[in-house]
Amino acid sequence: MIAIYPGSFDPITLGHLDIIKRGSLLFEKVIVVVAANPNKRPLFSADKRIEQIQAAVSPLFNVEIDSFDGLTVTYARMKQAQVLLRGLRVLSDFEKELQMAHTNKTLADDLETVFLATSTEYGFLSSSLVKEIAQYGGSIDHLVPQHVARDIYRCYAKT
């Protein structure tokens, strides 16, 4: 069974990696898809995010990284995936994610959404929070992989 884990991953956090690792134990293959989000201005290009994710998941043999600009259900059909994998942190995530799952079901009835509750230590963590902390000079070393932290520090050192 193939699962698609879509997101902007700008940047990938330890919370994202937690979902990817746990998903890789549940599914034959997990494809992490860097998706374009017209409502966000990313810190990193899609290519850089793919590079960061690949480095972070290199020990996982059944995880692939890709990018896509369009509907997630279209991508899932192209890859013959049966599942959309989503992480849940807090109650507000659930409302948005449930709405998206229902919408996706109307577009692709054969595609299921599977939610994984984020591990307790990452329940507060978001990419936006990471960028905000780094922008104001705080340490993010405990929130993202070390290579990603270095990339983020470099970005904010320029401003």
Residue-level pLDDT at 40: 78
Q: What is the CATH classification number for the domain harbouring 100?
A: 3.40.50.620
Domains of the chain: total: 1
Q: Does the pTM of the predicted model rise above 0.85? A: yes
Residue-level pLDDT at 158: 67
Residue-level pLDDT at 159: 55
Residue-level pLDDT at 90: 81
Q: Which residues contact 123 (CB under 8 A, 6 or more apart)?
A: 89, 90
Residue-level pLDDT at 25: 98
Both structure tokens of 40: 């966000």
Both structure tokens of 114: 């599977």
Range of the domain at 73: 2-157
65-74, pLDDT tens digit by residue?
999 999 999 9
Question: Which burial class, exposed, middle or buried, applies to 138 when counting CB atoms under 10 A from its CB (0-12, 13-18, 19+)?
Answer: exposed
Give the residue numbers marked as catalytic: 16, 40, 89, 127
Q: Which residue has the tokens 């374009």?
A: 36
What are the average pLDDT values for consecutive 10-residue runs of the chain, which has 159 residues?
97 97 98 87 94 97 96 97 95 89 97 96 94 96 97 86
Q: What angle do CA 93, 97, 101 make, to 5 degrees?
A: 170
Residue-level pLDDT at 36: 82
